[in-house]
Structure 1
Amino acid sequence: MGLEFEIVLRLVISGVLAALIGWERKSRDKEAGLRTHFVVSVGSTLIMLVSKYGFNDILHPYTVVLDPSRIAAQVVSGIGFLGAGTILVQRQSIKGLTTAAGLWATAGIGLAIGAGMYTAGIAATILVLIALELLNRTDKWFFSKSKRFVIRALNINPVLATLNESGFKIRKIQINNASTSSENQEVALTVMLEAKKDADIQTLIVTIQQITGVLSIKVD
């Protein structure tokens, strides 16, 4: 009865720790949220438990010897396929790397709890949450992030002048003719800017929208 209780306890602790990480990801509207992290961690814990205790009935000290790490080791490589599904390549940016890394770490936490390493699993959970929450804020405070502006206008000269006067670092500018009509020469302007504060971006968007001839503006 003691072993069965210990197994259930490990599964529950694994699920709770993973839910904390999953909740943080869900709060940011990421691809993998609470349920995904919960299932990954509980599944990893179960695999570790099977690897450790699932073959006790056939083991014999002289005739049958098994490596208890062989099954659990497959989690490390197998979780890579699930993590790859959360990575999205959009134009020139890659999104989902942090979520994929979080799933990989969650699988490791599940393995640690399944092995009975409670301290390591709990400590890893705390460190992952610190990395996702605290370091995310630090990243916003100290590092600039690229924003992609797609602006459609009849005259891009005022738009370019506004961008140059905005104080943002311009990484890339691409100009395409969106219309071949001589009466309505619409131009598509794609600009990559670096900014630290979302509030500054919003101010720039409002300023550009007020320029005569601007038809639309999209930021991602």
Structure 2
Amino acid sequence: MDLLRSYWSPAELVTNGLILLHLLGALAVGLLLGYERSYHGRAAGMRTYGLVCLASAALTVVNAYPAMWYGGMGSEGAAGAGDPTRVIQGIVTGIGFLGAGVIMREGLSIRGLSTAASIWATSAIGIIIGLGFYAVAIAAALLTILVMSLLRPIERLLPHRSVVHLTLVFPRDKAPPPDELRAQVARHGFEVVDWAFHLANGSGQFECQLVLQGKGDLDPMILVAALASTDALVEFKLSPSRI
């Protein structure tokens, strides 16, 4: 009974209250960061970010009170705070698997890298909150939101290149020479930077996979309209290299 009462001692309740404040702060920051991703229609939203930040803070902050573990009886003689670095290493490993789960490959395009990076950042912010550095955590959360929300429009304003992947399927006897394909996409502002060719066995179809590059944000719909009006073309697919 003494052991059970020790879990509800005044000192234990005060410690639990302090830990709860850390968890509430971490949850609020995680929900805030997750809303930005949810607003943009990403797979990982408020619940994912809130849980990541909350769990990271919880696993970190308990290391600050080793003398109160197990009702204050399981760490007798412990001096100072516990070592949170081992817990942090475990958090970093676990977040790596979670981040990999939101990265998806669609053909030659890869999506979810920014979401995975922001989940990693949310975990780090949760660890900072768990250690008690609230000012730094708030600043890191604001900087993370700034990067995720405002940096992409700035990227579009800076000089850059657009990369798209184009797949063309022709009948075997009507496939145009590579120079003709290169000239056609060049008329729409694109340059062929890489290519692959595939002749389907038995189907009589010739497939061309082209990687196109252009300066700035070129309108691909003009190229799509030109491809759609090509009689010899059986099928085509145009997709961006990243989003």
TM-score (structure 1 length as normaliser)? 0.82
Q: Identical aligned pairs, as a percentage?
A: 26
Of 117, 122, 130, the residue aligned with 2:133 is 117
Given that 1:156 and 1:189 are in contact with CA atoms closer than 8 Å, whether structure 2 keeps it comes out as no
Q: Which moved more, 1:106-115 or 1:156-165?
A: 156-165
Which structure's CA Rg is the greater one? 2
Alignment of 1:129 with 2:145, yes or no, is yes
Q: Counterpart of 2:196?
A: 174
The one-letter code sitting in structure 1 at the alignment partner of 2:229 is Q
1:163 aligns with 2:180: no
| 1:48 Cα deviation after fit | 1.5
Counterpart code for 2:84: S
1:152 to 152, 169, 187: 169
Q: Distance in 1 between matches of 2:144 and 2:111?
A: 18
> How many residues are treated as equivalent by the alignment?
214
Q: Render the CA deviation track for 1:64-120: whole Å, top value 9, x for unaligned.
A: 346242453232333222223333455555443322221111111111112221111
8 Å CA contact retained: 1:179, 1:187: no
Residues 10-33 of structure 1 deviation map (CA, whole Å, 9 limit, x = unaligned): 222212211222222233443432
CA contact (8 A) 1:173 1:190 kept: yes
Q: What are the ranges of 5 or more consecutive residues in structure 1 without an aligned counterpart? A: none
Q: Residue 22 of structure 1 is aligned with which of 20, 23, 34?
A: 34
Aligned-CA RMSD value = 2.6
Residue 193 of structure 1: aligned partner: 212
Deviation, 1:179, is 6.5
Q: Does residue 217 in structure 1 map to residue 236 in structure 2?
A: yes
* Match among 21, 25, 41 for residue 13 of structure 1: 25
Going from structure 1 to structure 2, the CA distance change for 1:117 and 1:165 (only over 3 Å counts) comes to same
Match of 1:203 in 2: 222
Instruction: For 1:109 and 1:217, locate their aligned partners in 2 and report how far apart those are by CA, in whole Å.
Output: 45
Whole-Å separation in 2 of the counterparts to 1:23 and 1:11: 18
Q: Is the 8 A contact 1:159 1:208 kept in 2?
A: no
Moved over 6 A (4+): none
In structure 2, how many angstroms separate the alpha carbons of the residues matched to 1:85 and 1:109?
20
Take 1:156 and 1:28, find their aligned partners in 2: how far apart are those partners? Answer: 41
Aligned counterparts of 2:201 and 2:85: Cα–Cα separation in 1: 61
Contact 1:44 1:75 in 2 (8 A): yes
Q: Is the 8 A contact 2:166 2:211 kept in 1?
A: yes
Shift of 1:150: 1.1
The farther-off stretch of 115-124 and 27-36 is: 27-36
